[in-house]
Structure 1
Amino acid sequence: MENGYVSPEMYATRLGSHGKITDLSSLFKLDPKVPFSICVVPKQATTDILLIVDLKLHQDDESSDFPVPLSDWTPGGIVEIPAEAIDLLSYDVYWACGTKAERAV
């Protein structure tokens, strides 16, 4: 088996590329345009369990409010997060997807 090989069964449920969103002053999407998941982590202790985020899923025509669990990976297949959709002063936000990708410029 070659190094880096992931079987189709493993690929369907695994994250293979990731990063931290450090700037949301403009639209966030990946290159290539692949669906991704996010994990939103509060910077302060909270009893909240989710955050409503304006985002676009892979079969949506436009972005709209979507409930995102805090401190866990969202099950949604996100393709875009509009500018300023998440307050990065209050939350750390991480992205991950099943293929090699990076933030689109």
Structure 2
Amino acid sequence: IDAAHAAGMQVLAAEGSGEWDLPALVQSAYGAGVAGGPDLTRPTLWVVGNEAHGFDGVDISRVDAQVAIPLYGQAESLNVAVAASICLYTTAMAQQSIG
């Protein structure tokens, strides 16, 4: 996290109870969302946790923000690889839109 910050990156954690909603950040990246949150068009390092236990026992207080991926239907959580893929792809698309 420190190395990412030193390189000018924001550090976001994918957390089910995150303070920011990923779709809202997408809308913000395209100029239609709530301002003041993380900017997906910036270089970003994503931190993801264990599927069953999240960040249990890990201090994520140094991240810039915690971001939730909304779940629809009866799913309780996402597989960590799926969650990481969603976050990375969403960020890449937001960055592509400004390029």
Structure with the higher helix share, 1 or 2: 2
TM-score w.r.t. length of structure 1: 0.25
**Structure with max Cα Rg:** 1
